[in-house]
Amino acid sequence: MAKTASLKLDDKEYPLPIIEGTEGEKAIDTRTLRAASGYIAYDQGYGNTGSCESKITFLDGDNGILRHRGYPIDQLANQSDFVETAYLVIYGDLPNQARRKEFGLLLRKNAAVETQMQKILEGFPTNASPMAMLSALVSALPAYHADLATNNFEKDLQNFDLAAAVAMSKIRTFVAMIYRYQKGLPFIFPKQELPFCDNFLHMMFSEPYKDYIAMPEVAKALNLLLLLHADHEQNCSTSTVRMVGSSAANLFTSISAGICALSGPLHGGANVAVMQMLQSIHDEGDDGTRFIAAAKSGSKSNRLMGFGHAVYRNFDPRAKIIGDACDTVLRKLGVEDPLLVIAKNLEQAALKDEYFVTRKLYPNVDFYSGIIMRALGIPMNMFTTMFAIGRAPGYIANWREVASNPKGRIYRPRQVYVGVTKRDYVPMAQRG
């Protein structure tokens, strides 16, 4: 018999169905509560609310577990690459050789950006925020691919494979274009024969008449970095993608909204904030004590960036992998970064501090990712756009789940109104 929970309100009992996930996660289904009782469930910030059922990513924040489609993140990090993991996240299974080739080909064929779209970019001031430019370019994609973006679930799903490849491949090209535009450099066309990450590095760093050929270590490090960002369950930007997608908005529009959400410093923008913090510790010759003391003040503006996570209460498994990779990558590239030493000392100091220990605050993925990006030659202001390239598969997979759910409804949370109660309009002449 199906299990139910019981809620007692004013002496009346309301049975509520219980849902259990495949990994034993339990939830009380409150969908019928308001109609039956007049009450809604209140959960500011949705920290204890399941907004959907999903088959993409399993995350157990208490035990530091992250799995995509069942595969542990450390196995993917050690054995897979970004494109294969993207396929897994989007389609649900690891590809066989033929499917992997087909997917790769679709990405390669859709890497180039229309000349007219370049003009959109050229309309921005060169010092504009790269995330603002990226979200604008992605939100313009429906104008250039109207057939893939009809705002009709059924039609858009029929063209899903192509739309997914366009989104993933072009987001990467846009990022390289934004970088070059800001530096006043001519755009470099993608090369069809290059793998995904090598092609990105080629578009970023090639010079006229001198192709940049990525060292295998560099391409490998970039693959790892993007792979570790591929999806992360119902985070702020992915939930945004789902929310926008639930209105039947097409894939590109939904992703563009996700990119906007990603830009905030409490989310994807944290990788920039971490590096600014490490740099200022370096410049001031401080040992980080000042930042730790300020972070303990409880002010949201002084948080220790790269520390803490909305769901991880043990450790962020991605941070562990990326922290270890930092040493290897920097050694292989022969880079000595004083910020890595500062980051390690800061981590040790915070992990011993009672404030961080009692609140279970550990380094998150952003704590070390900036150091790897710096070693690859990516400037700080582009860090969050790199996160967007990595997170594209997660956005795509989540949009697809929303679009293909026959029982899905538009995302529309409720609220508890705490404003002024009814009052009558006062004409201007009578106002004080």
Residues labelled catalytic = 309, 366
What's the burial of 282, exposed, middle or buried (CB within 10 Å: 0-12/13-18/19+)? middle
Tokens 């501090």 label which residue? 353
The span of 121-129, 241-249, 308-316, 372-380 binding ligand ACO (CB under 6 A) equals 308-316
Site string for ligand ACO, 364-403 (x = CB under 6 A): xxx-------------------------------------
266 binds ligand ACO (CB under 6 A): yes
CB atoms within 10 A of CB 316: 27
Which CB sits closer to ligand ACO, 40 or 294? 294
Query: Minimum distance between the CB of residue 189 and ligand ACO, rounded to whole angstroms?
Result: 32
Q: Which is nearer to ligand ACO, 208 or 298 (CB)?
A: 298
Task: Give the amino acid at 224.
Answer: L
Q: Which residues contact 220 (CB under 8 A, 6 or more apart)?
A: none
**Nearest CB to ligand ACO, comparing residues 191 and 344:** 344
Closest listed residue to residue 274, CA positions, set 387, 192, 197, 174: 387
Judged by beta carbon, residue 173 or residue 235, the one nearer ligand ACO is 235
When binding is defined by CB under 6 A, the residue of 68, 180, 309, 374 that contacts ligand ACO is 309
Size of the site for ligand ACO (CB under 6 A): 18
- Stretch binding ligand ACO (CB under 6 A), from 2-10, 245-253, 295-303, 376-384: 295-303
Residue 190 or 390 with smaller CB distance to ligand ACO: 390
Site for ligand ACO in 199-258 (CB under 6 A): none
Under rule CB under 6 A, residue 359 binds ligand ACO? yes
Q: Residue 267, interface with ligand ACO (CB under 6 A)?
A: yes
Binding to ligand ACO (CB under 6 A): which residues in 22-61?
none
361 binds ligand ACO (CB under 6 A): yes
Residue nearest to ligand ACO (CB): 308
Distance, CA of 362 to CA of 359 (rounded, Å): 9
Task: Determine the interface stretch with ligand ACO among 12-20, 151-159, 323-331, 363-371 (rule: CB under 6 A).
Answer: 363-371
Q: In what order do the strands lie in the sheet with 65-68?
A: 57-60, 65-68, 71-72
Stretch that binds ligand ACO, among 71-79, 139-147, 302-310, 413-421 (CB under 6 A): 302-310
The residues binding ligand ACO (CB under 6 A) are 266-267, 270, 295, 298, 303-310, 359, 361, 364-366
